[in-house]
């Protein structure tokens, strides 16, 4: 069965961006030749889900959205969006979207945030795996990965790996309640 | 120099207790003979700082506060508190308290939370080390370890260790800004 996998970075204090959406602190762990497993991870996915704000943030930064060319790409938005090749803007029921995707053959489904989409998926227990890279910094404030207000989720550690840059990548999978 | 060390557990989503102060989920990682380094850690401390709410929570649970017999014990409180042997209730300036402790000879200083005390210490850059045990659960909601609204803190990973119960313990030390 295809899995929905959250693959994301956060600061030790749980933020994915500053209040002003700055993510330049991610450069703390930039290292020539080190991708923290990203290429291996993306080799196992063919579908990409992201929130509108994150989508617009990427577009604003690099004037492109490369995921649209690589994956079956869904941008979740409550707003009317200008059409863009390779992207489905989705304003419907999240459970139906994920159920529909899982009924089809395919690789895993990559969720790239942000916090609102993570909350939306968690509200319905739809995240199967969490791959979280903890960046060695404390931002103090900002946009949270876990916004709170979701049901509890039972998870199990799959692996944990510390890199010499100080990044710690933890992987968990959803489990059924005991 | 004596260090102020935060030693605490949190859920993957950054909570130290549920909204109703439940910490029974910590039993997820209880294992005969496994203390996750606690005895070794406490062998290097002689002073203990905790917030009033956490103090009262412990008192309410076990009708005792064993730290008062083991350590030089400070409970930070803005309220008038009933005297208790071995405990200094402190309502003064946190910077003066920590500076005063550091000027004395002694072992390290253990901060046990909760979130308000962590924020207070972080507001003044007073935490020298963070030892955080990430419990393999997502609570969804509750009392946050990092409440937000503090200045950023520069930190460096010292170590990371995964246990077979799924607990991941990460250790960081404060560094100076680059």
Per-domain boundaries in chain A:
4-21+34-174
Residue written as token pair 């703390």: A28
Query: What stretch of H or E contains B53?
Result: helix B52-62
Q: CB burial class (10 A; 0-12, 13-18, 19+) of residue B40?
A: exposed
Spatial separation of the C-alpha atoms in residues B57 and B50, rounded to whole Å: 11
Q: Determine if the peptide bond prior to A114 is cis (ω within 30°).
A: yes
**A32-69, pLDDT tens digit by residue?**
999 999 999 999 999 999 999 999 999 998 999 999 99
What angle is formed at CA A17 by the lines to CA B169 and CA A141, rounded to 5 degrees? 75
Spatial separation of the C-alpha atoms in residues A90 and A77, rounded to whole Å: 6
User: Within a 10 A sphere around the Cβ of A96, how many other Cβ atoms?
Assistant: 10
**How many beta-carbon pairs under 8 angstroms link A with B?**
103
Decide if pLDDT at A82 tops 90.
no
Spatial separation of the C-alpha atoms in residues B70 and B86, rounded to whole Å: 9
Contacts of B136 in chain A (CB under 8 A): 155-157, 172
**B130-153, pLDDT tens digit by residue?**
999 999 999 999 999 999 999 999
Q: What is the CA radius of gyration of chain B?
A: 16
Phi, psi for B18 (deg, rounded to 5): -70, 175
Q: What is the pLDDT of residue B178?
A: 58
Q: Which percentage of chain B shows pLDDT scores above 90?
A: 93
Decide if pLDDT at B9 tops 90.
yes
Residue written as token pair 């004596």: B2
Confidence band (pLDDT; 50, 70, 90) for B24?
A: very high
Residue written as token pair 């405990």: B87
Q: Residues B38-52: what's their mean pLDDT?
A: 97
Q: Which percentage of chain A shows pLDDT scores above 70?
A: 99
Of B138, B153, B157, which has the smallest distance from its Cβ to A155's Cβ?
Answer: B138
B13 close to A (CB below 8 A): yes
Residues near B103 by beta carbon (within 8 Å), at least 6 away in sequence? none
Q: ipTM of the predicted structure? A: 0.96
SS3 label, residue B152: coil
Of A122, A132, A166, which has the smallest distance from its Cβ to B156's Cβ?
Answer: A166
Q: Locate A20 and state its tokens.
A: 């002003």
Rounded to 10 deg, the angle between the A94-103 and A115-123 helix axes is 80
Spatial separation of the C-alpha atoms in residues B14 and A16, rounded to whole Å: 13
Residues near B13 by beta carbon (within 8 Å), at least 6 away in sequence? A14, A145, A146, A148, B138, B139, B140
Q: Please, are residues A142 and A16 in contact by the beta-carbon 8 Å criterion?
A: yes
**A113-131, pLDDT tens digit by residue?**
999 999 999 999 999 999 9
User: Within a 10 A sphere around the Cβ of A119, how many other Cβ atoms?
Assistant: 18
Q: Which of B6, B8, B11, B13 should be substituted to probe chain A, the one whose Cβ sees the most A Cβ atoms within 10 Å?
A: B13
Q: How far is CA B26 from the centre of its chain?
A: 15
Phi, psi for A99 (deg, rounded to 5): -60, -45
**B4-120+128-174 under CATH 3.40.430.10, yes or no:** yes
**B46-100, pLDDT tens digit by residue?**
999 999 999 999 999 899 999 999 999 999 999 989 888 999 999 999 999 999 9
Of B138, B146, B166, which has the smallest distance from its Cβ to A13's Cβ?
Answer: B146
**In CATH, what class is A4-21+34-174?**
alpha beta
Size (chain B), residues: 178
Q: Locate A133 and state its tokens.
A: 């890279």
């Amino acid at each position: 069965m295809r899995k929905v996998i959250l693959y994301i970075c956060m600061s030790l204090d749980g933020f994915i961006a500053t209040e002003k959406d700055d993510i330049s602190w991610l450069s703390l762990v930039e290292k020539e030749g080190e991708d923290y497993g990203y290429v291996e991870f993306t080799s196992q996915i063919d579908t990409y889900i992201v929130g509108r704000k994150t989508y617009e943030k990427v577009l604003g930064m690099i004037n492109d959205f490369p995921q649209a060319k690589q994956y079956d790409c869904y941008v979740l938005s409550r707003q009317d969006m200008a059409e863009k090749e390779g992207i489905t803007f989705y304003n419907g029921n999240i459970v139906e979207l994920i159920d529909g995707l899982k009924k089809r053959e395919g690789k895993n489904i990559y969720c790239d945030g942000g916090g609102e989409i993570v909350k939306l998926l968690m509200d319905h227990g739809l995240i199967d795996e969490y791959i979280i890279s903890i960046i060695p910094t404390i931002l103090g404030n900002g946009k949270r990965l876990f916004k709170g207000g979701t049901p509890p989720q039972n998870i199990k550690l799959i692996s944990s790996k510390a890199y010499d840059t100080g990044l710690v990548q933890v992987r968990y999978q959803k489990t059924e309640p005991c």
